[in-house]
Amino acid sequence: LKWILIIIIALIAVFLIYSASQPNKMEVSRSIEIEAPREQVFDKIADFHSWGDWSIWNQKDTAMKVEITGEMGAVGAKSQWWSNHPEVGNGSQEVVEVRPNEYLKCKMRFADWDADNFADFTLTELDGKTTVVWTYESAETPFYMNFVNSLIQPMIEQNYETSLNSLKEVVESAPMTVANPMNLEVVEVTPTAILSIKDSTTAEGISDKLRELYTELSIFIDSKEEVSSAGMPLAIYYAYSPEKVVLEAAIPYSGEASAEGRIMVGEIPAGKAVKGVHLGDYNASEKMHYAIIDYGKASGMVLGDCWEVYANDPTTVDSAEVRTEIY
């Protein structure tokens, strides 16, 4: 009996030594790339109502009771669940930090474990694709319970990978919805032959510079019997700051033309473009430019240089009817 007791004590000692040698908390990090704008991905993560579509824990027990409260995507949003499934159990998660479309951090608590655990999502976007990094950091465990971390961590890692793959499938298969308060259109642009002059000026000097360049282009067109104007004037913008604007004033033409001096022969190429129409004072068109940039980004489109078509003559229409078509 004495030796049995000694063996039991020795085994307990070995077990405690082993447990003490294991990490005293669990840290998991998994990532995935999703072919969608991060706004679309963030919506699926921040809205706890959507977790049933992609979270492996929700799918392990489709009958579990879930109670969701608070404003989704905001601090204080909370999800509580009750499940008889041994891998799910009872618990809650509450949003404690959020940066819309970039970062979400949740505090998690589990039944029979009076401690705070944390999970967070970090989203970065490049060229219309979003990388999601999902991390988990548990509370510290007593040294005699450290062995549990080593046993559970592989399961958590696998569940994270499965859930992220489901998230990718759900997001990429969903129809893209992009806010469009400025009534923008995605249009097919036909190739347009242009005569143009490239120059630079300040932001305040755009109107005077365009007037100068259009005058020079018009004189050139009038001097060539084989060339005629074929559309309203336009301008392509390559760089913009208050101190320096690099632009190319252009007039569509028909006929046979060749470059001469600083007058270039070129083309607006065919393809898709985001189009917005601004009516009224040209100086108030900045919002439309930003709307096009935001729309293109949210839609996963790679936008090129901006160009504007001055669709009517501001000297012949009311100021409220001046029409600028922005691409």
Cβ-proximal residues to 28 (8 Å cutoff; 6+ apart), any chain? 135, 136, 153, 156, 157, 160
Q: Give per-residue pLDDT as tens, 245-262.
A: 999 999 999 999 999 999
Residue 4 has a pLDDT of 73
**Cα–Cα distance, 12 to 28 (Å, whole number):** 29
Q: Give per-residue pLDDT as tens, 138-194.
A: 866 555 565 565 667 778 889 899 999 999 999 998 876 677 888 999 999 999 999
Q: Please provide the average confidence, as pLDDT, over all residues in the chain.
A: 88
From the number of C-beta atoms within 10 Å of its C-beta (0-12, 13-18, 19+), residue 249 rates as buried
Residue 139 has a pLDDT of 63
Long-range contacts of 279-284 (CB under 8 A, 24+ apart): 279/320, 279/321, 279/322, 279/323, 279/324, 280/319, 280/320, 280/321, 280/322, 281/319, 281/322, 282/207, 282/314, 282/322, 282/324
Cβ-proximal residues to 326 (8 Å cutoff; 6+ apart), any chain? 275, 276, 277, 278, 285, 288, 289, 292, 306, 307, 308
Q: Give per-residue pLDDT as tens, 17-74.
A: 544 555 667 888 999 999 988 888 999 999 999 999 999 988 888 889 999 999 999 9
The residues pairing with 267 across neighbouring beta strands, listed in sequence order, are 193
Q: Which two tokens stand for residue 320?
A: 């409220």
Q: In whole angstroms, how far apart are CA 191 and each of 188, 257, 268?
A: 10, 16, 5
Given pLDDT bands bounded at 50, 70 and 90, which one contains residue 205?
Answer: very high
Residue 234 has a pLDDT of 97
**Cα–Cα distance, 219 to 200 (Å, whole number):** 20
First to last CA, the chain: 90
Contact 95, 2 (CB under 8 A): no
Share of the chain above pLDDT 70, in %: 89
* Closest residue by Cα to residue 235 from 271, 260, 266: 266
For the beta carbon of residue 183, count every other beta carbon within 10 angstroms: 9
Q: Which two tokens stand for residue 21?
A: 């040698």
